[in-house]
Structure 1
Amino acid sequence: MFTKNDLIHAIKNMGICHTDTLLIHSSMKAIGEVEGGADTVLDAFMEYLSEGLLLLPTHTWANMSETYNRFDSDKEPSCVGLLSNLFMKRPGVVRSLHPTHSMAAYGKDSKEYIKGEEAVTTPCAEGGCYDRLRARNGKILLLGVTHARNTFMHSVEEVLRVPERFTEHPVRFEIVMPDGSIKESQVYRHFNKMSAHISENYDKLAEAFYDCNAAKKVTFGNADCILCDANGIFEVMKKVLAHEINCLIEREVIPKIWWSEKN
């Protein structure tokens, strides 16, 4: 059984700094038995990043629809795991107002970081919460999951204008604002006619990320993890997609020469 000290030691061994901005996609089950359970996992990350910024996705894309379309950040549960649901309810944690791809934040300038998400029209908009990781030299920890859960890659595709990623028309949502008023929002959903879940194709770039030092293998408890550099992920994707903009959907294998130093 892992203790909080064991987990803090694991975070340090990854090369994460106390001042880092860190986004975590997670599988609690993959970690194994922890003394105190999921709360201890959150305690470890929140204490270690006491001078930084800790981010967890609190997505609701599986819940929200054309008929169930009112998003209340204080009440709507996350559809992406136990840790995200516990985290967003903790004292000092704030949650963005994106109706399908909200994010919870804790630490320095957390309120400023998540600001303005009620005004975007796509899941991971350019300049939004996910894209902001680049300006902060942020890191992404895939804790017991793979790039198929790496939402930052959606934001890279948005910045690079990858086609055929959204529904033809936006969905109308209602967002409950902090003062209780209702803001209407029109947001496109992720969609591709060739792939039911676009993100399932993202693991095709795993080798490229390792080769270019944009990601490395680490461990946390029993979980096999991937620690990513946001800017590194962006640059590798930019280089690969320059050869064929929709290669993640249209190709089974991505040619290594597309990201090699010689090319």
Structure 2
Amino acid sequence: MHTEESIARNLRDLGILAGDLVMVHASLKALGPVEGGAATVLACLLQAVGPAGTLMGYASWDRSPYEETLDGARLDEASRRSWPGFDPATSGTYRGFGLLNQFLAEHPGARRSAHPDASMVAVGPLAQALTEPHELGQALGEGSPLERFVRLGGKILLLGAPLDAVTALHYAEAIANIPDKRRVTYEMPIRGKDGQVAWERCEDFDSNGILDCYAAEGRPDAVETIARAYVRLGRHQEGFVASARCRLLDARDVVAFGVAYLERHHGAAVPEARKPADLSRAGRARAPKGGARP
């Protein structure tokens, strides 16, 4: 049975520092038995980043009608009328991205972004700056919480989660200068301040396969392909937390690598203004004071 003390020590040894901005992807099953379960794991993570640090997760939504409305598919009228509207304050999280995100969303002071399918949740001084705004059509690319997370110098923690869970690489897909990116449309039910639900249609990049070659059944997508290539370089930190093999990645570095990888293998000429080095320079901006499908 792993304890709060041992997990906290493991996180420090892995390289998480007080004041860090960390996006966590967790497999509680991989961690093994923990005294106090998910609540203990969350407490250890918040203790590791400290009161000056911020913890972020990919919450999504357990009732997201993404698949049901994808590329023109339409729910019948009875289903549309009865489908709940998304509310960041009360809607559940998608369990496929880990149970820990629900605990994070329910933590006092947690902030959750307004995009139903790609909603992010954060706790800490940067929570509001990370999660607002989050418009439909900006799920994981420019204008999204992921972009702000990367530019604020965040770290990605794979807490027993596999390499296909590096959600920040969807941001690399969105900004990479490559032709023939796949796009999708879908609809989301949004609950307004008056309590009424309105269905809104949006268009975005296809996070399930940015190019045809990454959307083939049984083959790794771009996120997993890039993440595998990145960890082979050894630029990340690695170790065990509880019973899980874990990795800590620098978000700016892995995203810059991802952009370069996609443009080298699939892209046209890269304009000077969009080279990965520019991403690194932009990421050095100071953080403000105070407060999707992997």
TM (normalized to structure 2)?
A: 0.74
- Report the equivalent of 2:236: 215
8 Å CA contact 1:70, 1:176 repeated in 2: yes
Give, as a single letter, the amino acid of the residue that structure 2 aligns with 1:142.
L
- Report the equivalent of 1:42: 42
Distance in 1 between the 2:201 and 2:137 partners?
Answer: 6
* Structure ranking higher on relative contact order (CA contacts 8 Å, 6+ apart): 2
TM superposition shift of 1:204? 2.4
173, 176, 185: which one aligns with 1:160: 176
Structure 1 stretch displaced more, 72-81 or 87-96: 72-81
Q: Secondary structure at the match of 1:141?
A: strand
- Report the equivalent of 2:2: 2
TM superposition shift of 1:8? 0.9
TM superposition shift of 1:219? 1.8
- Report the equivalent of 1:111: 128
> 1:118-157 alignment to 2 at 5 Å?
119-157=135-173
Deviation track 1:117-144 (CA, whole Å, cap 9, x = no partner) reads 1x24043021311121221111001111
TM superposition shift of 1:92? 1.1
Change in Cα spacing, 1:70 to 1:166, as seen in structure 2 (3 Å) is farther
Distance in 2 between the 1:228 and 1:175 partners?
Answer: 34
> 1:35-74 alignment to 2 at 5 Å?
35-49=35-49, 50-60=51-61, 63-65=64-66, 66=69, 67=75, 68=83, 70-74=85-89
Change in Cα spacing, 1:152 to 1:177, as seen in structure 2 (3 Å) is farther
8 Å CA contact 1:218, 1:226 repeated in 2: yes
- Report the equivalent of 1:175: 190
Give, as a single letter, the amino acid of the residue that structure 2 aligns with 1:155.
Y
Unaligned runs of 5+ in 1: 247-263
**Residue 48 (structure 2) pairs with residue 32 (structure 1):** no
Change in Cα spacing, 1:141 to 1:148, as seen in structure 2 (3 Å) is same
Distance in 2 between the 1:63 and 1:209 partners?
Answer: 31
Distance in 2 between the 1:100 and 1:137 partners?
Answer: 24
8 Å CA contact 1:208, 1:236 repeated in 2: no
Structure 1 stretch displaced more, 149-158 or 184-193: 184-193
TM superposition shift of 1:235? 1.8
Structure 1 stretch displaced more, 19-28 or 129-138: 129-138
Give, as a single letter, the amino acid of the residue that structure 2 aligns with 1:99.
P
8 Å CA contact 2:138, 2:144 repeated in 1: no
TM superposition shift of 1:69? 7.2
TM superposition shift of 1:46? 1.4
List structure 1 segments (4+ residues) > 6 angstroms apart after TM superposition.
none
Q: Secondary structure at the match of 2:116?
A: coil
Deviation track 1:149-197 (CA, whole Å, cap 9, x = no partner) reads 1111111100115443322xx2232323567565764333635455167
8 Å CA contact 1:21, 1:137 repeated in 2: yes
Q: Secondary structure at the match of 2:40?
A: helix
**Residue 224 (structure 2) pairs with residue 203 (structure 1):** yes
Q: Secondary structure at the match of 2:146?
A: coil
8 Å CA contact 2:155, 2:248 repeated in 1: yes
TM superposition shift of 1:103? 0.7
Structure 1 stretch displaced more, 33-42 or 205-214: 205-214
Unaligned runs of 5+ in 2: 70-74, 76-82, 268-294
TM (normalized to structure 1)?
A: 0.82
Q: Give aligned-pair identity as a percent.
A: 25
Q: Secondary structure at the match of 2:89?
A: coil
Change in Cα spacing, 1:178 to 1:5, as seen in structure 2 (3 Å) is farther
Q: Secondary structure at the match of 1:137?
A: coil
Give, as a single letter, the amino acid of the residue that structure 1 aligns with 2:118.
H
- Matched residue pairs, number? 243
